[in-house]
């Protein structure tokens, strides 16, 4: 079973922000429109795993919509555009903001068609995301608890009994992400996607990074497992500038050289660790060692960060 599907669990301090984020996540989990979109994504997952999924629209149209949206709000700089993959690969990027998959899709080639493996609620929590992704499909949704929600549940049993009502609501409404059936289906869907010469997009940190230019380590092992089992090359991508958004900010997308590994149907731990080490080094090379936020007017920062969150 692929470990990339683990919840990004880290011990979090209970702060007003932690509680607020958990409440937002719970609200999303109870939202009928989000629940409907996730269910459609899960239905699509079944057909992907069976090899019968039919894209509702052409990949070029999805690319056009996202590129038009992103370029109307931001300046985008693509480094090493000659390395943009035009054959089936596993596209792997650092993760700073929920804009990242949409930015990456807007700057990648429309062919191969890339499927996004990512957190279900953050992919469907805005009307415009549901509209675009509902039109285009291509989502492998992960239903799982966020780190803040896990922290609330644990704290309610310990030092913060006042959080028990919130913890109970989370336990009743937010899937833990431990469904063996769904995890097997996701792994089968990935296998079919890569066998059919389509692309896969992953964010192996498993959560949003806290700082520009820094990876959240260790990387999840699923990326390495998928690469080894399929023999499909991995293309690292460095995303720069997306942590804090504002109007006409320059966002940089840096494509790296593809990493190829021998196909191994039953990879051992050492095989996996070697792939992760190579991927980590490649991503670090693509990220700035000393990022400095531009000293310019940050128009509509609050709106845009909320719009993409």
pTM: 0.91
Enclosing domain of residue 16: 1-30+144-178
Q: Is residue 41 part of a domain?
A: no
Across all residues in the chain, what is the average pLDDT?
A: 93
Q: What pLDDT, on the 0 to 100 scale, is given for residue 11?
A: 63
What mean pLDDT is predicted for residues 132-153?
92
Residues 148 and 201 in one domain: no
Q: What percent of the chain has pLDDT over 90?
A: 88
Residues 173 and 270 in one domain: no
CATH number of 110's domain: 3.40.1130.10
pLDDT band for 8, please (50, 70, 90 cuts): very low
Residues 170 and 138 in one domain: no
Q: Which residues pair with 251 in a beta bridge?
A: 76
Beta-strand (E) ranges in 194-265? 199-202, 234-240, 250-255
pLDDT band for 136, please (50, 70, 90 cuts): confident
pLDDT of 209 above 80 = yes
Geometric angle at alpha carbon 188, from 262 and 170, rounded to 5°: 120
pLDDT band for 1, please (50, 70, 90 cuts): very low
- Tell me the pLDDT tens digit for each residue of 220-258: 999 999 999 999 999 999 999 999 999 999 999 999 999
Please tell me the distance from the alpha carbon of residue 287 to that of residue 307, in angstroms, as a whole number.
Answer: 25
Q: Is residue 124 part of a domain?
A: yes
- How many domains does the structure of the chain reveal? 2
Q: What percent of the chain has pLDDT over 70?
A: 96
- Tell me the pLDDT tens digit for each residue of 154-205: 999 999 999 999 999 999 999 998 889 889 999 999 999 999 999 999 999 9
Residues 166 and 91 in one domain: no
Residues 26 and 80 in one domain: no
Residues 155 and 293 in one domain: no
Q: Is residue 47 part of a domain?
A: no
Q: Is residue 256 part of a domain?
A: yes
Q: Rg of the chain's alpha carbons, rounded to an integer?
A: 19
pLDDT of 73 above 90 = yes
- Domain end, chosen from 178, 196, 225, is at 178
- Tell me the pLDDT tens digit for each residue of 13-41: 899 999 999 999 999 999 999 999 999 99
Residues 18 and 135 in one domain: no
């Amino acid at each position: 079973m692929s470990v990339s599907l683990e919840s990004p669990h880290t011990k979090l301090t209970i702060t007003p922000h932690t509680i607020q984020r958990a409440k937002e996540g719970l609200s999303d989990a109870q939202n009928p429109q989000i629940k409907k979109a996730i269910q459609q994504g899960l239905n699509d997952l079944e057909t992907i795993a069976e090899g019968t999924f039919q894209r509702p629209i052409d990949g070029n149209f999805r690319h056009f919509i996202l590129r038009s949206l992103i370029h109307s709000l931001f300046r985008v700089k693509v480094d090493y555009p000659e390395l943009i993959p035009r054959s089936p690969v596993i596209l792997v990027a650092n993760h700073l903001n929920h804009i990242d998959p949409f930015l990456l899709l807007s700057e990648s080639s429309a062919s191969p068609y890339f499927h996004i493996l990512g957190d279900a609620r953050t992919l469907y929590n805005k009307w415009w995301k549901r509209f675009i992704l509902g039109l285009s499909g291509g989502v492998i949704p992960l239903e799982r608890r966020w780190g803040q929600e896990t922290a609330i549940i644990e704290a309610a049993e310990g030092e913060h009994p006042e959080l028990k009502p919130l913890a109970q609501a989370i336990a009743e409404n937010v899937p833990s992400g431990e469904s063996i059936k769904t995890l097997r289906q996701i792994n089968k869907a990935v296998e079919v996607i890569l066998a059919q010469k389509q692309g896969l997009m992953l964010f192996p940190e498993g959560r949003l990074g806290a700082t520009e230019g820094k990876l959240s380590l260790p990387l999840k092992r699923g990326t390495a497992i998928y690469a080894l089992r399929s023999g499909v090359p991995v293309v690292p991508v460095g995303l720069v500038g997306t942590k804090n958004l504002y109007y006409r900010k320059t966002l940089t997308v840096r494509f790296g050289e593809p990493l190829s590994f021998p196909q191994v149907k039953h990879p051992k731990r050492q095989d996996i660790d070697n792939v992760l080490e190579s991927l980590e080094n490649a991503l670090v090379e693509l990220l700035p060692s000393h990022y400095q936020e531009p000293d310019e007017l940050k128009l509509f920062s609050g709106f845009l960060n909320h719009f993409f969150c």
